[in-house]
Structure 1
Amino acid sequence: MYRENKPTLIGPYDHPDIYPGPRPSSSFLYHKGKAHRIEEKENVPVEKQIVHYARGEDVSGSLAFSSSEQYTVEELVRKEGLTPIEDRIPLLAYGSNVCLAQLRYKFSLNPDLNDFILYYRAEITDTDVVAGSFLAPYGALPAVIAPVKGAKTEVWVTFVDREQLELLNRTEGSYVLREHQNGKLTLKTGEHFERVYAYYYPHAYLRQGSFVRFMDIPGESKLPSMWQADLLNELKSLIGYGGHREEFIHELRWNGSLRKKMTRMLKDLDETFDHPDWIEPNGFHTLKNMTRSQRKRRP
């Protein structure tokens, strides 16, 4: 089983215990199969931040190894001939799309896609990342964003062009896009955006009368936290599976009959919610069409 110290080279598609996956310790650019650390300088806009560009093959890139090659984000965007940052849409990432091994796997399936994706650490209040009441194809309970008063949760803001957004919309299943305008999300650099979008699915796993947050995700919350491995152990017991754990994990991914049985059980453990901070959007705004500001970062 995987709990603490999850390996960076293994993602949820390799084993569901990994979900949502280890979180990088800094903002980063994912490009050409690896991470490139972003410095997170306070009061510096996202396009002016410094990227430490890695040339090795390790997926952790300059998050784990030093690099003397440095560019601003906007310099790299111009160098690659990509959509400028001001023409991109701010989109929240909070589940396995922050896991480096998961990113490498997804882009290996679509080698023609440009994998230039910025990830900026941020904090959001009154929102937590909790287990959903349904199964992902790889056998994990995936993440959803839910209303939790007083919570302070680490999330990540990416910046996508409209083509990337359309592609993501086709891969997010039952999730729909919602918009946040309540000013409760700020990057670690202190930058704040008038609007941020996120994939939203209002169905959480209810355990002993409470939502459950993920141990992997930093934050402050009144909710209990669990590892995915322990959530799956509980589901194995609840459904009465008598075989070994790894047999259960295998069947959960490949046995259609067991998956249907699990889906029926999870429907009885579902809590439907509405998050007042996330509303239906009226179109999708790029950075140049919204206000931006800098807020003093809390010590």
Structure 2
Amino acid sequence: MYPGVWPAESGLLDGDRLLPLDRLTFPDRTPLLAVGSNACPGQLRHKMAEFGLTSPVPMVRTRVTGIDVGVSAHVSILGYVSASPVHAPGVTRELFVIWLDAEQLALVDATEPNFDRVRLPEPSARVELDDGGTLSGVFAYVNRHGVLHNGDGVPRSHPGQHALISELLTASTELRRMFGLTPEEFCVRARADARLCARGTQLFAKEKMVTRSGLEHLRVR
């Protein structure tokens, strides 16, 4: 289930193998903060293979302050509610930065139709490496529909797919009518049904569940 399994350590994704890294930065590539399935080697491998790309992808574990993993305000046709970064002063998370070459970056951009790639603000968002160094010029994908909140207008953290969908279904009678009573039924109904997913996305806004991520103004594409 989304977002898939993340690595325990930094590594170089080369086909089906996650190899040791000899360094943590790659100046000839673009650093991209992954808050969802882009941090899953299996998902990355699938994306690259689908378009015939075979070049390796460095995946570097980092400690990120000022950014939390929020909840995208849209229902994906893959059958889940995805993650999106949100501005969160004082919050620190361990997240992966993937380093993409120009061809890989263009491909991943194309697979994120509901997101805008933005450059994270410095110094309010700090990305620290295991060796104590910090990264600048890090990008992330921010959901263009906004993010969900808990009722107080503050972006909610993503608790994991099963827990999240359970909470959303419990809170909304109309969402249960559209997607069923359980996370499993939600995923089955949503998967590959673009019209239903669009209605679910509209319902989030209609029921006033949506707020801003705090990163929208940084849009670069």
**TM-score range relative to shorter protein:** 0.7 to 0.9
Structure 1, residues 77-97: CA drift from partner, whole Å, max 9, x if none? xxxxxxxx3322222222111
How far apart, in 2, do the equivalents of 1:194 and 1:120 lie?
14
- Give the superposed CA RMSD: 2.7
Instruction: Tell me the amino acid that sits aligned with residue 258 of structure 1.
Output: L
How far apart, in 2, do the equivalents of 1:227 and 1:164 lie?
27
How far apart, in 2, do the equivalents of 1:175 and 1:243 lie?
27
Selected match of 1:236 from 153, 157, 169: 169
Selected match of 2:48 from 107, 113, 120: 107
Aligned residue number for residue 30 of structure 1:
13
2:66 matches 1:120:
no
Aligned residue number for residue 86 of structure 1:
27
Selected match of 1:160 from 93, 97, 100: 100
Deviation at 1:133, TM superposition (A): 0.8
2:123 matches 1:169:
no
Deviation at 1:108, TM superposition (A): 3.9
Selected match of 1:211 from 155, 163, 172: 155
How far apart, in 2, do the equivalents of 1:88 and 1:141 lie?
29
Find the structure with the greater CA-based Rg: 1
Q: Is the 8 A contact 1:33 1:115 kept in 2?
A: no
Q: Is the 8 A contact 2:67 2:92 kept in 1?
A: yes
Structure 1, residues 61-86: CA drift from partner, whole Å, max 9, x if none? xxxxxxxxxxxxxxxxxxxxxxxx33
Map 1:45-194 to 2 at 5 A: 45-46=23-24, 85-110=26-51, 112-180=52-120, 182-183=122-123, 184-194=126-136
Q: Is the 8 A contact 2:79 2:186 kept in 1?
A: no
Deviation at 1:30, TM superposition (A): 0.8
Q: Is the 8 A contact 1:181 1:194 kept in 2?
A: no
Count of paired positions: 210
Secondary structure of 2:31's counterpart equals strand
Aligned residue number for residue 272 of structure 1:
212
Structure 1, residues 216-273: CA drift from partner, whole Å, max 9, x if none? xxxxxxxxxx221122123334223385633432111144453233122112311124
How far apart, in 1, do the equivalents of 2:94 and 2:218 lie?
20
Secondary structure of 2:27's counterpart equals helix
Instruction: Tell me the amino acid that sits aligned with residue 86 of structure 1.
Output: P
Identity across matched positions, percent? 25
Query: Structure 2-normalised TM-score?
Result: 0.81
Q: Is the 8 A contact 1:92 1:155 kept in 2?
A: yes
How far apart, in 1, do the equivalents of 2:189 and 2:160 lie?
20
Query: Structure 1-normalised TM-score?
Result: 0.62
Secondary structure of 1:208's counterpart equals coil
